[in-house]
């Protein structure tokens, strides 16, 4: 098990380093950062002054080494627009994004696993067809459009929930539903296919032949093995939710990392953009690593890979 964790951790470290290179390099390739910071009205002297002030006149390798060393120490510099520490901005906004992501994942798991199990147990019935219809609809529908629909229905017409803001728990309900529904189809289909495969296995038939109750066979023997790939997918989906929160947080005016990233992109605030992209990517890497370790605990066969 120790060897498995070491190999996965080393791979995660390599991926994190690669992402840091891409995160820094893509902004360098986007154009002259000094011109973008100065704006279209800046003179050549002002652009040159900006280039020197922010260290953009140094070699790219030196700039990257300085930025990476600062990132390792959680120092991403100062925001061009907010004129404050980038890390302070991230720490201020991170709880909103994490709360939204966890709630969305809880909703996705709470809907997809029961639906997947029910669809597998009643294969070919109206329950199965309803579950597949929900999955297809969720996969085809853009989450921002679904979010706007929820606002019109529950905030404007029924006035049950607020349309925007994160001051109370009610403000997270609609965005969590909109973001959670985005992850539901894949998790539901994977649960359904896993249950169908496990229910047809020899050890489940043996358990039924012993006279065990249906609930014991389904939940103790079948679901435990069928849910293993869902664990890995749940971690991946949480990473997608944190990254995809940019749209949802903008639609619902939540003061999270997503809205911060959107505002920073529109204002050419590159230190903030780099920090948000790197932090969300690191969350994704860590979640994937934890999912691999948890899968190895649940299924010892994976440790030999």
Residue 229 placed within a domain: yes
Q: Residue 299: its pLDDT value, please?
A: 64
Answering whether pTM is above 0.75, one says yes
Q: Residue 268: its pLDDT value, please?
A: 76
Per-residue pLDDT tens digits for 87-129: 888 888 888 888 888 898 898 888 888 888 888 888 878 888 8
Range of the domain at 199: 96-256
Query: Residue 243: is its pLDDT beyond 80?
Result: no
Residue 68 placed within a domain: no
For residues 193-219, give the mean pLDDT. 73
Residue 13 placed within a domain: no
Query: Residue 255: is its pLDDT beyond 70?
Result: yes
**Spatial separation of the C-alpha atoms in residues 120 and 305, rounded to whole Å:** 30
Mean pLDDT in the chain? 80
Q: Residue 283: its pLDDT value, please?
A: 84
The model's confidence at residue 303, banded by pLDDT at 50, 70 and 90, is low
CATH number, domain with residue 155: 1.10.3720.10
Query: Residue 19: is its pLDDT beyond 80?
Result: yes
Per-residue pLDDT tens digits for 98-107: 888 889 889 8
Sign (positive/negative) of CA torsion 236, 242, 246, 252?
Answer: positive
Residue 76 placed within a domain: no
Residue 23 placed within a domain: no
Q: Residue 30: its pLDDT value, please?
A: 64
Residue 291 placed within a domain: no
Q: Residue 300: its pLDDT value, please?
A: 64
Per-residue pLDDT tens digits for 43-75: 777 777 777 777 777 787 888 888 888 888 888
Number of folded domains that form the chain: 1
* pLDDT, greater one: 168 or 64: 64
* pLDDT, greater one: 32 or 110: 110
Per-residue pLDDT tens digits for 256-270: 888 888 888 877 788
Residue 168 placed within a domain: yes
């Amino acid at each position: 098990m120790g060897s498995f964790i070491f190999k996965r951790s080393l791979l995660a470290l390599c991926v994190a380093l690669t992402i840091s290179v891409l995160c820094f390099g893509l902004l360098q390739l986007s154009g002259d950062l000094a011109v973008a910071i100065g704006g279209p009205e800046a003179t050549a002297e002002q652009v040159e002054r900006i280039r020197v002030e922010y260290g953009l006149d140094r070699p790219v390798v030196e700039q990257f080494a300085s930025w990476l060393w600062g990132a390792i120490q959680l120092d991403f510099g100062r925001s061009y627009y907010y004129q404050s520490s980038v890390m302070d901005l991230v720490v201020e906004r991170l709880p909103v994004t994490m709360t939204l992501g966890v709630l969305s994942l809880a909703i996705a798991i709470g809907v997809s696993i029961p639906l997947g199990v029910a669809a597998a147990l009643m294969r070919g019935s109206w329950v199965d067809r309803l579950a597949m219809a929900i999955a297809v609809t969720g996969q085809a529908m853009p989450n921002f459009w679904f979010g706007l629909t929820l606002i019109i229905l529950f905030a404007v017409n029924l006035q049950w929930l607020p349309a925007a803001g994160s001051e109370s728990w009610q403000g997270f309900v609609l965005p969590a539903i909109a973001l959670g529904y985005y992850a539901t189809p894949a998790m539901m289909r994977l649960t359904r296919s896993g249950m169908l495969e496990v229910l047809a296995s020899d050890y489940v038939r043996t358990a039924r032949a012993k006279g065990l109750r249906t609930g014991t066979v389904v939940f103790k023997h079948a679901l435990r093995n069928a849910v293993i790939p869902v664990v890995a997918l749940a971690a991946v989906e949480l990473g997608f939710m944190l990254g995809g929160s940019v749209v949802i947080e903008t639609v619902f005016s939540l003061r999270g990392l997503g809205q911060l990233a959107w505002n920073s992109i529109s204002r050419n605030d590159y230190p903030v953009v780099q920090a948000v992209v790197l932090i969300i990517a690191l969350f994704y890497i860590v979640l994937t690593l934890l999912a691999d370790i948890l899968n190895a605990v649940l299924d010892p066969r994976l440790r030999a890979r």
